[in-house]
Amino acid sequence: MLLRKGCQKMQLGARRSDGGNTGRWGTDGGLRVILGRKENRAEKPGVRISELARSRPTVKDGTGPMKSVKSCVLFTVLTWLLMLTTAGVRAASDGKEENPSFKFSDVEYFYRWSKDDQYEFTPRGQEDLERWSDMMTIRRYRSVTDGDRLAAAANTVLENYKSVGAMVLRTDSVPRTADKPAEHLIVVLFPRKEYIEAAFARFKMVGGTGSSAIYCHRIYGEKAGNSMSAWLKANGPDVEKILMRWEGIPTVLKNVDKSSKR
């Protein structure tokens, strides 16, 4: 149950507040929310060449000059090989950009961060989770096992959004059918001093378990209101339609399950 400094979204636990919800949008509390900074990530691997330089061997016999040159050449080659190898490891660990996780709205997204059942992805060139423009978050709610619990979860998230100053732009539900439970949509704005963030959250049952796909778009600057208004007017309806039709949630969850078993 965590609000990360990345995409402004509330995470859900297992608890229901009143034993059920019929799916209507309204007040439904009962989940604890912790506001805080994002989790510390592991430090990126690096090479301290100064440490290697201090360990260079010295030659003390009569053939010192020639051996010294050979030693320097060998040391240089080994150093460059180590640097290249480390660079390769760093490139592979920084979001694995050579293998996009999925496409959303014709944009490739790459894995960046995860904790528990929350997985975050951004496009190429947006590796910095302190300053990104577009983010997709896929979340699984293992205790949400039917449509009523999914509706309650969506209502809880809506109230949590409101509690941290979100401006609610739109809520909607897709009625349940004989084949599948209802789905729910929340669209909000998070005005902050440094940026404005628009969040589109879709709640859906996947394989008998609740899940959400949340697309967030940020515009930075203290006077970003006009720019965000223009962006929403030009893109908001299309983003909503694409998100509600997007079929990528099962594939993403399946792939992360495979990765966790390796």
pLDDT tens-place string over residues 112-161: 999 999 999 999 999 999 999 999 999 999 999 999 999 999 999 999 99
Task: Judge whether residue 227 has pLDDT over 60.
Answer: yes
> What are the strands, taking DSSP E only, across the chain?
102-104, 107-115, 118-123, 134-141, 167-174, 183-191, 195-206, 209-220
Q: What is the mean pLDDT of residues 191-220?
A: 97
Distance CA 33, CA 114 (A): 18
- Are 185 and 240 contacting, i.e. CB atoms less than 8 angstroms apart? yes
Task: Judge whether residue 60 has pLDDT over 80.
Answer: no
Contacts of residue 253, Cβ cutoff 8 Å, sequence gap at least 6: 138, 140, 206, 207, 211
Place 258 in a pLDDT band, splitting at 50, 70 and 90: confident
Q: What is the mean pLDDT of residues 45-54?
A: 29
∠ CA 107-109-111, rounded to 5°:
180
Q: What is the mean pLDDT of residues 199-228?
A: 96
Distance CA 166, CA 190 (A): 5
Comparing 68 with 214, the larger pLDDT belongs to: 214
- Given this model, what pLDDT does residue 180 score? 87
How far from chain centre, in Å, is Cα 130?
11
Report phi then psi at 129, rounded to 5.
Answer: -80, 0
| pLDDT tens-digit map of 231-243 | 999 999 999 999 9
Report the relative pairing of strands 209-220 and 134-141 from DSSP bridges.
antiparallel
Q: What pTM, to 2 d.p., does this model score?
A: 0.66
- Given this model, what pLDDT does residue 98 score? 62
The residue among 126, 124, 131 whose CA lies nearest residue 192 is 131
